[in-house]
A and B are shown apart, each in its own frame.
Chain A
Amino acid sequence: MKIAKTKTNPNNIMSLIDLDNQNPNVYKKSDDRTITLDEQDDNVVDEFDRREIFDLIRNINDPEHPLTLEQLHVVEEHLIQINNANNNILVQFTPTIPHCSMATLIGLSIRVKLLKCLPERFKVRVQVTPGTHNSEHQVNKQLGDKERVAAALENHHLIQVINQCIAPRKRA
């Protein structure tokens, strides 16, 4: 299993391995989307847009830090491309440091989250932003391989870690 590089007890994942990036930059969270009049009219059809996809993944937790991917600028709205007509979505994400060993796990979390939330008609690709990771090609290949993703999701330990990352937060 190539994807699950660290075969550790997921509950102790923080204590067992050294943090790759101990001091990441933390950015501000974007505001909630404002609701337009058109959105309230039941007769108008709303297309999927990049903000909608962004809203889905921005709250995913970083596996290492108690921060969201948005706060670390791992995902950004302008790095999402969506084509409603062709049912295509491309999400690019930026690891905090070029040698980040968590890159695959983060990519996998994004993919799983979108897989679970989006309609089946969309074909979702998740990639590392070009030039931001040492083994960019390898990570992209792993994330793009359907078989490997499916196999990874059968892994009990791995799915537990991913679930921790994408677990929805209860609203007050």
Chain B
Amino acid sequence: MEFNYILNQLENGTEETFKTNCLLISTGIREGKSTILELIESLGRFLTDASISKRELGISILNEVLKSIPIDYLSTQQLEVLVEFYSSKFNDHHQIFPVALSGTLVLLGFENFPRPKLSHILSAIFQHVPCQQQQRVDRFTIFQILEICIKNFKQEVHDMENVFVCGLHDAVDGERDPRNLLFLLKWMREFTKEFKLYFFTEKIFDALASYFPVDFRTPLNDNSITREDLANALCPCLCANPEFGDSCISLALEKLDSSLEIAKLDSLALLREGCSTFKSSLYMEQFPNIWPLIQKEVLCTNSPTIRTESFLTLQKIVSKISTEDCLGHIKNIIDTVKGNLLPDSKLFQVSTQILICTAAASEKSCNFIVKEILPIIMNIYKMCAYVDHKSLIVQPLVDLMKEYFKYNKSLDDQEVPDLLNVPLLCLDLLKNDDTLKIGLDYITVLIPHLDSKNRETLYSEIQRIMFKIINEQTMLSLIQLLITCAGYYPEEVKCKIFTIDSQSHLPDAFLRSLAHLVTLQNFKDYVISTYLELLKKNVQSETVMKHLRYLVEQQRDNYDLLRELIEKNVLCCIYDSYVNSQFFETNISQDVYTIMTLLVALQPSEFQSKILGDYFERIFLQEMNEKTFIILYGLTAALRREVQLDKRVFEVALKISETSNNEFLVHIAVQLLGNLVNKIEDVKEFLSSCKIITTQKSFQRACFITKGLILRNYPDGYGWLHLSVRIECLKCLTLFTTVYPEMLLLPYKSKVLKQLAVCVDDKKRLVRKEAMEARAFWWMVGENV
């Protein structure tokens, strides 16, 4: 292979030809036309040239060739020579360093790299290349080399002992570029964790600690690296080695004491992160220093983030020291906040939060705090005279109980007799209207642990509350309580609460909670029969319909339940009750058709046909009125395609859509029409019967029919985009410009104008007029007038 010719070209060539020519050489070597040895021999005159730039060129040609040779191509022997060569280059002029470094990086990638030679080349770099005096890119290359050594040459790095650690420290210390730093921090953690640091432990920690807390603002035009990226990478490095423990915690505490918010947040994060590597004895020892600082943050800060983070940290640390004899420290916490535990104290809430968060840390801390704090809170409650204070006191109690139940099953504890009184306090809250909702919420937490006596009291309270008029929030709490209660004690709830004599007027809360209980096996039959009975008797049927609708909507996919409802004749009961009711009201009508639609929708087509057969005769037997039409709609709105429909349905819907004065009915009728058009076989005949003059009502109808046609992909569908539909749409577009702020309109301006350019050439003048008007308004969006 004629190297000299190519090399001459390379010497005088441009950047573009450089790569192609190098590739030419490496292809030659790969194909066996020449060897790497021949290349080096030919390169000789460059490599030994007196001019630095010639030598630089020679090495970069070699680098480029090596890059494109397969990584398993060169033998260990060949590589040994190359390593020797590159090592000697670090003795050369400093201008050679960059190319020598990138060459080293390429060499490290070869499979047969001579492992014993690693220390040789690394020592050369450490000795001759002052990393922090190099350009950013070259520093990056050095860091890449170090990373590869740490990841792929573990044993060799170990064997180099403190030489490597020292070299690494010198290379890394003082790095200022965020990109390099982020890269470096990514593998520093592994390094500090896995390798012995000899007497450099402190030095390496100091090198890292100098960045803490990370104070870096991302330049505006650069969104690559953020402060958080760096902070998140630094934190694990500082905690990676257990030997960092002492210095790390001192560092965190020192920065936590500063006034800078990010310093505080980073310090808290560092304290938490440390829990995973440092010894618990260290935290035990440092706790007297940690607690006052965290306490200060929690009690004094204005920032909710710092407060939450402080709580998290406290919890994590308490959980860490719980393996040791930590009760003294927890006692310390209790003693600090005990004085604040008066409901009119400003710090009452924060103090209770501290206690609860400490209790949440571990079983040990939880039981200890319950034992210490419960009697105190009980005492305060007894002395408390105001109702709103009482609920304030019970809240931490219940939160504490939540933690307590994570580790304990019963309230029966010899050491803390007061535990048994907690439910009584909650029941007490139920007696007062102002604290009713809170009481219900609290007792819901305690339900699994109530003894039978307390439950008796609770049931009678619930029965009493059901007959009261309560607001929506309280009602929801009551229902939640009932659901939880019924889950734990189904039989009891059934015989103790849902026993109200059905002759009497049933409270709303009673009927409403039934709809929620239907999924519980023991309650299903009871719920269905109660509802049906009321519908049959036509008592409170409006309320029942409302709740039945909720039930059906919640269970819309529960085929078995819906089928059971139909088989138990729910449709018939609704029919009778609705038709016999005195007035025609929109709400009830909506309930009725929603229930019917959902019940019918999931059934198979034969069954749907059967239902229709049963009811159509009854419906068409008498004269059609609003109510029968609503029922007709409910039955037919969600049929399967195969179900054949009586022609009379169209006729009725068409007639109502034209003649009725009730907007609601017309709306239902046109929806039904659109729905039918989507499904029926013979659309043509149907369309011919309803394509008539433009009126306000028929506009609405046209919309739904068009929707139906387009959804079924009917060929003439778009022809139904009626004159009036187009006009209304354009009017609507115009209206947008007057009601919405320009900021929202601007993104659509060009799109709208483009579309309107088509509309202004509509065949109808009335449409054009609106389109031109709309266009005039849209042109002005964002214009200065």
Interface residues of B in 761-785 (CB under 8 A from A): 761, 763-766, 768-769, 772-773, 775-777, 779-780, 783-785
Q: Which residues of A contact B777 (CB under 8 A)?
A: 168
Closest B residue to A121 by beta carbon equals: B761
Q: In the bound complex, how far is the Cα of B785 from the Cα of A120, in angstroms? A: 25
B765 touches A39 (CB 8 A): yes
Q: Is A164 an interface residue (CB 8 A)?
A: yes
A42 touches B764 (CB 8 A): yes
Q: Which residues of A contact B768 (CB under 8 A)?
A: 46, 48, 52
Out of B738, B761, B775, which one reaches A116, CB within 8 Å?
B775
Given A40-B694, A42-B722, A120-B757, answer yes or no on A166-B776 (Cβ-Cβ < 8 Å).
yes
Out of A42, A159, A170, which one reaches B738, CB within 8 Å?
A170
- Please, what's the 1-or-0 string for A1-14, where 1 marks a CB less than 8 Å from any CB in chain B? 00000000000000
B784 touches A119 (CB 8 A): no
Interface residues of A in 110-143 (CB under 8 A from B): 113, 116-121
Out of A45, A55, A164, which one reaches B769, CB within 8 Å?
A55
A35 touches B766 (CB 8 A): yes
Q: Is A81 an interface residue (CB 8 A)?
A: no
Given A163-B784, A168-B780, answer yes or no on A39-B764 (Cβ-Cβ < 8 Å).
yes
A119 touches B766 (CB 8 A): no
Interface residues of B in 726-770 (CB under 8 A from A): 738, 757, 760-761, 763-766, 768-769
Q: Which residues of B contact A120 (CB under 8 A)?
A: 757
Q: Is B723 an interface residue (CB 8 A)?
A: yes
Q: Which residues of A contact B760 (CB under 8 A)?
A: 117-119
CB distance from A59 to the nearest CB of B (A): 10
Closest A residue to B784 by beta carbon equals: A160
Q: In the bound complex, how far is the Cα of B760 from the Cα of A35, in angstroms? A: 18
Q: How many residues of A contact B (CB 8 A)?
A: 25
Interface residues of A in 140-171 (CB under 8 A from B): 159-160, 163-164, 166-168, 170
B766 touches A39 (CB 8 A): yes
A45 touches B784 (CB 8 A): no
Q: In the bound complex, how far is the Cα of B775 from the Cα of A71, in angstroms? A: 24
A116 touches B779 (CB 8 A): yes
Out of B723, B757, B765, B776, which one reaches A119, CB within 8 Å?
B757
CB distance from B34 to the nearest CB of A (A): 65
Closest B residue to A164 by beta carbon equals: B785
Q: Which residues of A contact B738 (CB under 8 A)?
A: 170
Specify which of B757, B773, B783, B785 lies most central, judged by the most chain A CB atoms within 10 Å of its CB: B785
Q: Which residues of B contact A118 (CB under 8 A)?
A: 760, 772
A40 touches B766 (CB 8 A): yes
Q: In the bound complex, how far is the Cα of B768 from the Cα of A39, in angstroms? A: 11
Q: Which residues of A contact B783 (CB under 8 A)?
A: 159, 163
Q: In the bound complex, how far is the Cα of B767 from the Cα of A35, in angstroms? A: 12
B780 touches A163 (CB 8 A): yes
Q: Which residues of A contact B722 (CB under 8 A)?
A: 42
Q: Which residues of A contact B785 (CB under 8 A)?
A: 160, 163-164, 167
Q: In the bound complex, how far is the Cα of B769 from the Cα of A47, in angstroms? A: 13
Q: In the bound complex, how far is the Cα of B694 from the Cα of A119, in angstroms? A: 27
Q: Which residues of B contact A52 (CB under 8 A)?
A: 765, 768-769
Specify which of B772, B773, B775, B777 lies most central, judged by the most chain A CB atoms within 10 Å of its CB: B772
CB distance from B416 to the nearest CB of A (A): 73
Out of A40, A48, A55, A167, which one reaches B780, CB within 8 Å?
A167
A119 touches B761 (CB 8 A): yes
Closest A residue to B761 by beta carbon equals: A119
Tell me the number of A-to-B contacts counted with CB atoms below 8 Å: 53
| B interface: dominant SS | helix
Q: Which residues of B contact A159 (CB under 8 A)?
A: 783
Q: Is A56 an interface residue (CB 8 A)?
A: yes
Q: Which residues of B contact A170 (CB under 8 A)?
A: 738
A45 touches B763 (CB 8 A): yes
Closest B residue to A160 by beta carbon equals: B784
Closest A residue to B693 by beta carbon equals: A40
A117 touches B772 (CB 8 A): yes
Q: Which residues of A contact B775 (CB under 8 A)?
A: 116-117
Q: In the bound complex, how far is the Cα of B761 from the Cα of A121, in angstroms? A: 9
Interface residues of B in 405-462 (CB under 8 A from A): none
Out of A46, A116, A160, which one reaches B776, CB within 8 Å?
A116
B757 touches A46 (CB 8 A): no
Q: In the bound complex, how far is the Cα of B768 from the Cα of A52, in angstroms? A: 9
Q: Which residues of A contact B769 (CB under 8 A)?
A: 52, 55
Q: In the bound complex, how far is the Cα of B775 from the Cα of A118, in angstroms? A: 10
Given A160-B785, A163-B783, answer yes or no on A42-B776 (Cβ-Cβ < 8 Å).
no
Closest A residue to B780 by beta carbon equals: A167
Interface residues of B in 581-624 (CB under 8 A from A): none
Interface residues of A in 33-76 (CB under 8 A from B): 35, 39-40, 42, 45-46, 48, 52, 55-56
Closest B residue to A122 by beta carbon equals: B761
Q: In the bound complex, how far is the Cα of B783 from the Cα of A120, in angstroms? A: 22
Out of B757, B773, B784, which one reaches A168, CB within 8 Å?
B773
CB distance from B680 to the nearest CB of A (A): 24
Closest B residue to A55 by beta carbon equals: B769
Q: In the bound complex, how far is the Cα of B768 from the Cα of A45, in angstroms? A: 12
CB distance from B406 to the nearest CB of A (A): 64
A168 touches B764 (CB 8 A): no
Q: In the bound complex, how far is the Cα of B754 from the Cα of A120, in angstroms? A: 11
Q: In the bound complex, how far is the Cα of B126 from the Cα of A34, in angstroms? A: 95
CB distance from B772 to the nearest CB of A (A): 4
Closest A residue to B779 by beta carbon equals: A116
CB distance from A13 to the nearest CB of B (A): 14
Q: In the bound complex, how far is the Cα of B763 from the Cα of A4, in angstroms? A: 38
Q: In the bound complex, how far is the Cα of B760 from the Cα of A113, in angstroms? A: 13
CB distance from A50 to the nearest CB of B (A): 12
CB distance from B413 to the nearest CB of A (A): 75
Interface residues of A in 67-120 (CB under 8 A from B): 113, 116-120
Q: In the bound complex, how far is the Cα of B772 from the Cα of A56, in angstroms? A: 8
Interface residues of B in 502-529 (CB under 8 A from A): none
CB distance from B776 to the nearest CB of A (A): 4
Q: In the bound complex, how far is the Cα of B775 from the Cα of A39, in angstroms? A: 21
Out of B694, B765, B779, B784, which one reaches A46, CB within 8 Å?
B765
Q: Which residues of B contact A35 (CB under 8 A)?
A: 766
CB distance from A40 to the nearest CB of B (A): 6
Q: In the bound complex, how far is the Cα of B785 from the Cα of A35, in angstroms? A: 33
Closest A residue to B760 by beta carbon equals: A119
For this complex, 24 residue pairs linking A to B, each with C-beta atoms less than 8 Å apart, are: A35-B766, A39-B765, A39-B766, A40-B694, A40-B723, A40-B766, A46-B763, A46-B768, A48-B768, A52-B768, A56-B772, A116-B776, A116-B779, A117-B760, A119-B757, A119-B761, A159-B783, A160-B784, A166-B776, A167-B780, A167-B785, A168-B776, A168-B777, A168-B780
Given contacts A116-B776, A117-B775, A170-B738, could you give 9 more A-B pairs where the C-beta distance is less than 8 Å? Answer: A48-B768, A52-B765, A113-B776, A118-B760, A118-B772, A119-B757, A121-B761, A168-B776, A168-B777
Q: 4 closest pairs, A vs B, by CB?
A: A119-B761, A46-B765, A117-B772, A168-B776
Chain B residues engaging chain A, CB cutoff 8 angstroms = 694, 722-723, 738, 757, 760-761, 763-766, 768-769, 772-773, 775-777, 779-780, 783-785
Chain A residues engaging chain B, CB cutoff 8 angstroms = 35, 39-40, 42, 45-46, 48, 52, 55-56, 113, 116-121, 159-160, 163-164, 166-168, 170
